[in-house]
């Protein structure tokens, strides 16, 4: 009779948010955990599982105890348009509430899965935005570890601003300085994440295994893009990246290109920042005001 190693009896259940930029690091974390000899169960939905199936299959064939289990996503029932099964596909801010409602609807399926799972779940590692996992961990009496992709700088800013908010010291207009930081960081309330300014958030649409974890278009066109970039002399082009969620209207893109061409990029720093939503405005402060390696477009 084959005995199962003690470590393999530990089952780490990983539950990422259905968003490419959140799926990628948690899928990587799942593989790193499996390399320690424990069992890892990655819980997601079919469309999102396809983004990293090949990489997970290679990990399994190498002997790692890692598996992907799929839940059924009822986006239409939550009010989402057909085909919206990833945060990247949500057409705009107006549908964000429906997207997270659909995420909440996964809880019952996930808990039924955990009840039947072998080995029994030892802990849950979940995205900070999959809030129901806190109740699920309590129900199964197992630890829950939260993954939060925000930078340490932004986390510190948020911590200090929670104190300011509790003291009613965040002004409604004008700039203010975030206290107790080594650099002078100035922000406005309109630039703060929804935790502090619910009405102020603006939502605009953002190598082998790593390339293929993102959106399909990004790796289908990679070879032709690389050849085009390599055809130019050094320091003769500007690379503009809007991330996985940033949606830029054609007229905005044209204006950006014309502005970059007209400016000659003469500010003397390698980065130009254009924050769009969430904590991106605080990330900009790190680059512009603390590290001084970027210039902002004054969003």
Q: Of 244 and 238, which is predicted with more confidence?
A: 238
Same domain? For 17 and 53 the reply is yes
Mean pLDDT across the chain: 84
- The domain that holds 91 is classified in CATH as 3.40.50.2000
Mean pLDDT is lowest, of 48-62, 123-137, 162-176, 224-238, for 224-238
Across the range 212-224, mean pLDDT stands at 57
Residue 136 inside a domain? The answer is yes
User: Which one of 120, 147, 174 terminates a domain?
Assistant: 147
Q: For residues 107 and 139, give the distance between their C-alpha atoms in angstroms, rounded to a whole number.
A: 12
Dist. CA 169–CA 161, nearest whole Å: 9
Mean pLDDT of 184-196: 88
Phi, psi of 175 (to 5 degrees): -85, 155
Task: Kindly state whether residue 202 falls inside one of the protein's structural domains.
Answer: yes
Q: What is the DSSP string of the chain?
A: -PPPPGGGG-EEEEE--SSHHHHHHHHHHHHHHHTTT-EEEEEEEHHHHTTTHHHHHHHHHTT--EEEEEEPP-TTTTTPPTT--SGGG--SGGGHHHHHHHHHTTHHHHHHHHHH-SSPEEEEEEETT-TTHHHHHHHHT--EEEE--S-HHHHHHHHHHHHHHHTT---SSSEEEPSS-SS--EEEGGGS-TTT-TTT----B--HHHHHTS-HHHHHTHHHHHHHHHTSPTTS------TTTB---HHHHHHHHHHHHHH-S-SSSSEEE---STTHHHHHHIIIIIS--EEE---
Shared domain for 117 and 133, answered yes or no, is yes
Whether residue 128 is found in the same domain as residue 156? no
Structure tokens, 46: 């079919």
Higher per-residue pLDDT: 2 or 227? 227
Considering the domain architecture, whether residues 161 and 297 belong to the same structural domain is answered as yes
Q: Are residues 163 and 246 in the same domain?
A: yes
In this structure, the answer to whether residues 135 and 164 fall within a common structural domain is no
Quickly state the pLDDT bin for 210 (edges 50, 70, 90).
very low
Instruction: Please tell me the predicted confidence (pLDDT) of residue 208.
Output: 40
Q: Is 189 found in the same domain as 255? A: yes
- List of residues 6+ apart from 103 with CB closer than 8 A: 17, 18, 129, 130, 132
Asked if residue 257 is part of any domain, the answer here is yes
- Under the banding of pLDDT at 50, 70 and 90, the label for residue 198 is low
In-domain check, residue 192: yes
Residue 110 lies in a domain: yes
Express as a percent the part of the chain with pLDDT over 70.
84
Question: How many separate domains does the chain show?
Answer: 2
Same domain? For 16 and 130 the reply is yes
pLDDT for res 207: 36
pLDDT band for position 209 (50/70/90)? very low
d(CA 45, CA 70): 5
Q: How far is 127 from 104, CA to CA, in rounded Å?
A: 13
The pLDDT value recorded for residue 206 is 33
Looking at the structure, tell me whether residues 102 and 178 fall in a common domain: no
Kindly compute the dihedral angle of the four CA atoms of residues 159, 163, 169, 171, in this order, to the nearest 10 degrees.
30
Please indicate whether residue 49 or residue 264 has the higher confidence score (pLDDT): 49
Mark which of 97, 117, 147 sits at the end of a domain.
147
Residue 92 placed within a domain: yes
Query: Does position 203 have pLDDT exceeding 60, yes or no?
Result: no
- CB 257 within 8 Å of CB 279: no
87: containing domain: 6-147
In the listed set 147, 170, 186, which residue is the last one of a domain according to the structure?
A: 147
Query: What pLDDT score was predicted for residue 202?
Result: 40
Name which residue leads in pLDDT, 206 or 252: 252
Say whether both 196 and 263 belong to one domain.
Answer: yes
258 and 133, same domain (yes or no):
no
pLDDT of residue 298: 67
- Kindly tell me if the per-residue pLDDT of 168 is higher than 60: yes
Residues 129 and 170 in one domain: no
Whether 85 is in a domain gets the answer yes
As a whole number of angstroms, the distance between CA 85 and CA 76 comes to: 10
Each residue's pLDDT tens digit, 96-153: 889 999 999 999 999 999 999 999 999 999 999 999 999 999 999 999 999 998 899 9
12: buried, middle or exposed (CB in 10 Å: 19+, 13-18, 0-12)?
A: buried
Residue 228 lies in a domain: no
Q: Is the confidence at residue 63, as pLDDT, over 50? A: yes
């Amino acid at each position: 009779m084959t005995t199962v190693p003690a470590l393999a009896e530990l089952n780490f259940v990983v539950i990422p948010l259905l968003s490419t930029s959140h799926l990628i690091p948690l899928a990587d974390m799942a593989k790193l955990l499996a390399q320690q000899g424990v069992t890892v169960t990655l819980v997601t939905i079919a469309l999102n599982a396809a983004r990293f199936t090949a990489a997970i299959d290679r990990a399994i064939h190498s002997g790692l105890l890692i598996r992907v289990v799929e839940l059924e996503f009822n986006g239409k029932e939550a009010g989402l348009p057909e085909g919206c099964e990833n945060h990247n596909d949500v057409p705009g801010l107006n549908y964000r509430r429906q997207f997270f409602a659909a995420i909440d609807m996964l809880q019952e399926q996930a808990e039924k899965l955990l009840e039947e799972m072998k080995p029994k779940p030892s802990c849950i590692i979940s995205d900070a935005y999959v809030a129901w996992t806190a109740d699920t961990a309590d129900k199964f009496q197992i630890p829950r570890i939260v993954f939060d992709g925000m930078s340490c700088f932004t986390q510190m800013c948020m911590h200090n601003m929670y104190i300011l908010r509790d003291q009613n010291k965040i002004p409604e207009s004008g700039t203010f300085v975030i206290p107790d930081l080594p650099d002078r960081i100035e922000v406005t309330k309109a630039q703060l994440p929804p935790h502090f300014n619910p009405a102020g958030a603006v939502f605009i649409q953002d190598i082998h295994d790593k390339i293929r974890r993102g959106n399909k278009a990004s790796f289908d066109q990679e070879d032709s893009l690389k050849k085009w970039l390599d055809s130019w002399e050094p320091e003769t082009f500007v690379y503009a990246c809007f991330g996985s969620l940033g949606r830029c209207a054609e007229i905005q893109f044209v204006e950006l290109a014309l502005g970059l061409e007209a400016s000659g990029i003469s500010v003397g720093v390698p980065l130009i920042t254009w924050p769009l939503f969430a904590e991106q405005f605080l990330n900009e402060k790190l680059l512009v005001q603390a590290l001084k390696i970027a210039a902002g477009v004054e969003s």
